[in-house]
Each structure stands twice: as C-alpha cells, then as structure tokens.
Amino acid sequence: MQCFVYRSPKKAAAYLYLSRQDDFSKVPTGLLKLFGKPELALEFDLTPERKLAVVSAADVIQSLDQQGYYLQMPSENEYPV
C-alpha cells in the first residue's frame, strides 16, 4: 500500500497518514482546521513488516483501512505542555 505522510504546520511532530495523495475526504473538517494546511513530508510503500519510528505499521494500515487516515500526535514526553 502506498502511504503519504503530511506534517502539520501548526503542531510540532503531528503527522497525518493517507493511502491516497492529497485525498483528505475522510479526514474530519475539525481535525483539518486544528492540523492546519497539510504539508507532504514523505511517501513510501507501507507493508505490515515495515519498521516505523513511532507506531507499528499494522496500526497505521488498520486505521487507513477503517478510517481512511491515521493521525500521529507527539507524546507528552516529547513536547511537554
């Protein structure tokens, strides 16, 4: 599965994963407002075996299949309030 990762210009270390480039149709409008205008950061072939830095590839694939997107937020330890 092709995967497109977008960074948020408003929230450091927030990323939105999609299976189709620039297809934000399944992302809730409110989330997009909070996220800001998505900036394409990365494109890669996503397989269940692929190692990702923060999350498991299986979790991303499941979310893409069920919701149409995956949102990766920074951990509280990474960016404390």
Domain boundaries, the chain: 2-72
pLDDT at 40: 98
70 neighbors 60 (Cβ within 8 angstroms): yes
pLDDT digits (tens, 9 = 90+) for 22-43: 999 999 999 999 999 999 999 9
pTM of the model: 0.89
Could you tell me the pLDDT band of residue 50, with boundaries at 50, 70 and 90? very high
Domain 2-72 falls under CATH 3.40.50.300: no
CB-neighbour burial class of residue 32 (10 A; exposed 0-12, middle 13-18, buried 19+): middle
pLDDT at 77: 56
Could you tell me the pLDDT band of residue 76, with boundaries at 50, 70 and 90? low
More confident call, 13 vs 79: 13
